[in-house]
Amino acid sequence: MPILDINRLFDPLSRILITELPYSNLILDIGSGTCSITNLYPYLDTKYILTDISTSDDNNFNLAKQRLKNNKSCTFIETNADDLSMIPDKSVPLITMLNVIEHLTNDQIKKSLEHVYRTLEDSGTFVILTPARLGRKIAGKYKANLGHIEEYTYEELEKILNDNGFEIVKYRGILDINPDGNVSLKIHTDKQTPYCFWMECKKIKKGNNDD
């Protein structure tokens, strides 16, 4: 039986995770960085495969590994988002990519999503969280010194996902941009004004060779 940590539900993103996502006993988190998924996902008995690259001793992933070194639920893999070759086919029920896709080139996105499609169980769930181009432009923070290669509209992300074998089955806009350009905490379904997109996806059949 899933073990729920009620204290985590006070975090706005945790409330989305618990209300929108199914329980999973295993999560593959791509581009983990600070490994925030381990603090946000509200179930205590979930196992995590956390992937990212370590560029220095004090980068986010290395610091997170030190913080979580005694957490037996975490497995750390140093790898790029576009190389998940060590993860077996159809072995993960829930894959998350939180604030990652905006840091990738088009080629890296394609390769990364190919690995997501391959490693995700047929009935599994894939979740993307990424900044919204229009909302961030309104706030004057479009690609603002965050190492972002590109930020997308809803329609652009939908096409990228469809072209790589995924369909969006649930969507939420997280945060909203007020007329004065400030950000306020809202969770809604509008596709034009959010600061971030939250997309829950399922696999669709790719070509004629897919089982």
Give the domain CATH number at 154. Answer: 3.40.50.150
**Residue 7: pLDDT band by 50, 70, 90 thresholds?**
low
**Range 144-155 average pLDDT:** 82
User: Rounded to an integer, what distance in angstroms lies between the CA atom of residue 135 and that of residue 26?
Assistant: 33
The pLDDT value given to residue 177: 63
3-class SS at 201? Answer: strand
For residue 14, CA distances in Å to 9, 10, 58, 97, 148 come to: 5, 7, 27, 15, 24
The pLDDT value given to residue 109: 97
Residue 207 placed within a domain: no
User: Is residue 149 predicted with pLDDT exceeding 80?
Assistant: yes
- Domain interval for residue 165: 6-202
Residue 208 placed within a domain: no
Average pLDDT score, the chain? 85
pTM for this entry: 0.87
The pLDDT value given to residue 143: 53
Residue 1 placed within a domain: no
Residue 210 placed within a domain: no
The pLDDT value given to residue 90: 98
Residue 166 placed within a domain: yes
**Domains in the chain: how many in total?**
1
Residue 185 placed within a domain: yes
Q: What is the pLDDT of residues 82-114, one digit of tens each?
A: 999 999 999 999 999 999 999 999 999 999 999
Strands 47-52 and 120-131: unpaired
CB-based contacts of 69: which residues, under 8 Å, 6+ apart? none
Q: What is the pLDDT of residues 25-37, one digit of tens each?
A: 999 999 999 998 8
